[in-house]
Amino acid sequence: MDLKAKFDQFETLNQEAESGGGEKRVLKQHEAGKNTARERIAILLDPGTFNEIDKMVTHKGTDFGIDKLKYPGDGLVSGYGKINGRLVYVFAQDFTVFGGTLSRTNADKILKLQDLAIKMGAPVIGLNDSGGARIQEGVESLAGYADIFHNNVISSGVIPQISAILGPCAGGAVYSPALTDFIFMVEKTSHMFVTGPEVIRTVTHEDVTKEELGGAITHASKSGVAHFTGIDEEQTLMMVRELFSFIPSNNMEEPPFKVSTDPENRPDPSLNHIVPVDPNKPYDIKDIIHKIIDDEHFLEVQPHYAANIVIGFARMGGKPIGIVANQPAYLAGVLDINSSTKAARFVRFCDAFNIPLVTLVDVPGFLPGTAQEFGGIIKHGAKLLYAFAEATVPKITLITRKAYGGAYDVMSSKHIGADVNFAYPTAEIAVMGPEGAINILYRGKLTDEEKFEAVEDYREKFANPYRAAALGYIDEIILPQDTRYKIIQALNMTHNKRKSNLPRKHGNIPL
């Protein structure tokens, strides 16, 4: 073969690999409102940075005539590239080849990528669109999944792992994304479930569509499985890029600093009027968040799930931070099962990846009721307590209004290791609210007038931050208008924090 023929052969094979399952299937993919694996990677990465690995790999299956059907790459496009100039590893299941199903061979491709990512300290981003285990390969496919799960677990807390669900993701296949740090879904075109509508109809006789069962809206609002949703693939992949801009490439790195033109010491008098004087009036904690962070840029995580707690990424003075904030505008900001687990997982992510935590507290306590108690609020609430106590990153806490009962302790109090604790003059730090306290102390023993006086007395004595400040549990009482600069200075002061917990195999978080 002469040189030209050799180059031609290379071109032919390359084109064959790049055409996936062929024109007809690509057309079907587009008609379903979906991009191909290669198109998705091109949207996700900086232009021209993708380097493909294992493009010529083919499967080794022999049953059901599959040995006569081979596609270079075998239904998975994998490699490395850049997002905003930073290295990432990416794999994309190609639905046009065997429905993007997992063969032993393409499991090995994912394993190779994960091993490289762990060695080089860069994230793995998985673009999922697959019919699951490749039926023709049987247990070899299942083994491939389990190997990937194992690598997911070993990588957890070492490199960020991000999953975008861009089509079907069913059966045990859901467990790889579930083990990763963040799940993105696309409205209408992506679905996740362990057992599909057909099986559910047979077993429990429930009638449910696949959209109701495992669509993006369901997982973003009901199950809490999805962290972000986009209206289409482009928007979803742009959100992946945005998330990556806040997080480091591995657990040994600092999160990426970004110079901001937003002045660090700008006072904002409008902050003085956000927390209402009436402690029972709601307000939107996001109004405070937007006013104190750099350029009002807040990437909220799980905005539609357990809205009584707000979590997300922002920058202050250029430094990425993780914000955890009770939301008085929803269920009065109460802590319950879902909000506790939502925030606990976020706190642990930030701690694993050196992202300081800024906690804004306005919490009336834990939600009462049999549903919560039977559902295990004791152990789920303990998760948040555990996560904050275990976290060794800088922890800055600001109490804007209520910090009642156990929830005061849980929400990154001084006692569980916060480094700087601020309170507004409107803060109320007490075992419970005035009315509830007086009812318990003097049950049925007071006239209405006496009760009113007792409530006022309690309010004066306890419903303020000064007792806690006198005891050193609050380091400084600040005016709302100064919040931004105060927190930035606290972040700068704690920048070189050195703290580690005692060596152990691992703790035993109440699961």
Residues 398/360, Cβ–Cβ less than 8 Å? yes
By CB under 6 A, residue 70 contacts ligand HXC:
no
> Exactly one of 135, 158, 178, 329 binds ligand HXC (CB under 6 A); which one?
135
**Of 73, 131, 167, 171, which residue is the catalytic one?**
171
By CB under 6 A, residue 133 contacts ligand HXC:
yes
Can 196 be counted among the known catalytic residues? Answer: no
Q: What distance in Å separates the CA atoms of residue 16 and residue 102, rounded to the nearest whole number?
A: 20
In the 3-class helix/strand/coil scheme, how is 50-65 assigned residue by residue? CEEECCCCCCCCCHHH
Which C-beta is closer to ligand HXC: that of 63 or that of 457?
A: 63
**Of 196, 406, 417, 436, which residue is the catalytic one?**
406
Stretch that binds ligand HXC, among 95-103, 223-231, 275-283, 291-299 (CB under 6 A): 95-103
> Exactly one of 35, 78, 101, 114 binds ligand HXC (CB under 6 A); which one?
101
Pairing of strands 86-93, 76-83: antiparallel
The token pair at 253 is: 């790195």
**Of 220, 306, 387, 407, which residue is the catalytic one?**
407
Handedness of CA 376, 382, 383, 384 (dihedral sign): positive
In the 3-class helix/strand/coil scheme, how is 280-346 assigned residue by residue? CCCCCHHHHHHHHCHHHCCEEECCCCCCCEEEEEEEECCEEEEEEEECCCCHHHCECHHHHHHHHHH
Stretch that binds ligand HXC, among 49-57, 98-106, 258-266, 413-421 (CB under 6 A): 98-106
Stretch that binds ligand HXC, among 133-141, 218-226, 314-322, 406-414 (CB under 6 A): 133-141
By CB under 6 A, residue 142 contacts ligand HXC:
yes
Can 172 be counted among the known catalytic residues? Answer: yes
By CB under 6 A, residue 37 contacts ligand HXC:
no
> Exactly one of 89, 98, 349, 353 binds ligand HXC (CB under 6 A); which one?
98
Q: Could you write out the DSSP letters of every residue in 234-280?
A: HHHHHHHHHHHTTS-SSTTSPPPP----S-TT---GGGGGTS-SSTT
Q: Of 190, 227, 197, whose CA–CA distance to 213 is shortest? A: 197
- Within residues 162-221, the interface with ligand HXC by CB under 6 A covers 168, 170-173
DSSP helix/strand/coil, 434: helix
Q: What distance in Å separates the CA atoms of residue 290 and residue 307, rounded to the nearest whole number?
A: 17
- The least distance separating ligand HXC from the CB of residue 235, rounded to whole angstroms, comes to 22
Residues 405/365, Cβ–Cβ less than 8 Å? yes
> Exactly one of 79, 123, 131, 381 binds ligand HXC (CB under 6 A); which one?
131
Q: What distance in Å separates the CA atoms of residue 502 and residue 511, rounded to the nearest whole number?
A: 21
Place of tokens 């299941």: 93
How many residues contact ligand HXC, by CB under 6 A? 16
- Within residues 450-509, the interface with ligand HXC by CB under 6 A covers none
By CB under 6 A, residue 148 contacts ligand HXC:
no
Which C-beta is closer to ligand HXC: that of 55 or that of 134?
A: 134
By CB under 6 A, residue 26 contacts ligand HXC:
no
The token pair at 73 is: 């790459």
Handedness of CA 389, 393, 396, 401 (dihedral sign): negative
Which C-beta is closer to ligand HXC: that of 66 or that of 299?
A: 66
In the 3-class helix/strand/coil scheme, how is 365-401 assigned residue by residue? CECCCHHHHHHCHHHHHHHHHHHHHHCCCCEEEEEEE
By CB under 6 A, residue 224 contacts ligand HXC:
no
Stretch that binds ligand HXC, among 129-137, 364-372, 404-412, 497-505 (CB under 6 A): 129-137
Can 407 be counted among the known catalytic residues? Answer: yes
Can 406 be counted among the known catalytic residues? Answer: yes
Residues of this chain that bind ligand HXC (CB under 6 A):
25, 98-99, 101, 131-135, 142, 145, 168, 170-173
The residues that are catalytic are 171-172, 406-407
